[in-house]
Structure 1
Amino acid sequence: MSRLHLLSAAALLLAVTSASATSFVVTTDAVGRATAGTSDATSDVSSDDDDDNKLLLEARDDAASFVASEGAIRGAHLEAALVHLRGKHPQLAASDLQLAQAILAR
């Protein structure tokens, strides 16, 4: 009976390890896609002029709160920056979260 328990434990350990590895790969892929989206948004946002830089600098604290709260806290400076960026770059296909992350990455 002891050998059966040992084999069962080994099989269970193998199954758990496999599930953890799969979960890690899925998480890593999701983070990679989010980072790629943020990089694209950052490069578009980084090419702005001095007035834009001032607006985006003022929005940093609001952007940090927005990202940390997963979108629950939306400050006035961030809202102004998002409206400005979307108006200036209508081709920009980034979510509010990606733009907030791009503002923080500047």
Structure 2
Amino acid sequence: MSRLRLLSAAALLAVAANSHASSFIVTTDAVVNALKATSDATTDVVSSSFKDNKIVLAARDDAASFVATEGAIRGVKLESALDYIRNQAPQLNATDAQLAQAILTI
């Protein structure tokens, strides 16, 4: 009888562990997909609206430094471009990092 209980407990633990892992994967996928959609939308708005703008184009090197250092280096040209973008598109709710990445895609 104890063997049956031991096997039952092992099977129950295996099923429980599998369900936690799969729900973690589903949750992680949902979060990543939501972030990607937000980033794609930001990139689309910035790249289509500002692709010919001199202020934004001049900020590409500063944006690259900003992204590469995870925000530690903030150049003057990038700051100007971020201010310009936020003034021109106030409905755009994007972080500085998202905007810098969008500038790099132009």
Match of 2:6 in 1: 5
Identity over aligned residues, as a percent?
A: 35
TM-score by length of 2: 0.77
- Unpaired runs of 5+ residues, structure 2, are none
Greater displacement, 92-101 / 15-24: 92-101
**Deviation (angstroms), 1:18:** 0.3
Q: Please list, as runs of the form range in 1=range in 2, the aligned pairs for 1:46-61 lying within 5 A after superposition.
A: 46-47=47-48, 48=50, 49-51=52-54, 52-61=56-65
Match of 2:86 in 1: 86
- Unpaired runs of 5+ residues, structure 1, are none
**Deviation (angstroms), 1:9:** 0.7
**Deviation (angstroms), 1:78:** 4.0
Q: 1:1-41 CA distances to partner (integer Å, 9 max, x unpaired)?
A: 22211110110010010011111111100001100000111
Query: Separation in 1 of the partners of 2:78 and 2:6?
Result: 58
Letter matched to residue 74 of structure 2: G
Partners of 1:65 and 1:74 within 8 A in 2: yes
The root-mean-square deviation of aligned C-alpha atoms, in Å, is 2.1
Alignment length (residue pairs): 101
Q: 1:50-99 CA distances to partner (integer Å, 9 max, x unpaired)?
A: 51222134311212322xxxx5x352354343223212222212223332
TM-score by length of 1: 0.77
For the pair shown, the structure with the greater C-alpha radius of gyration is 2
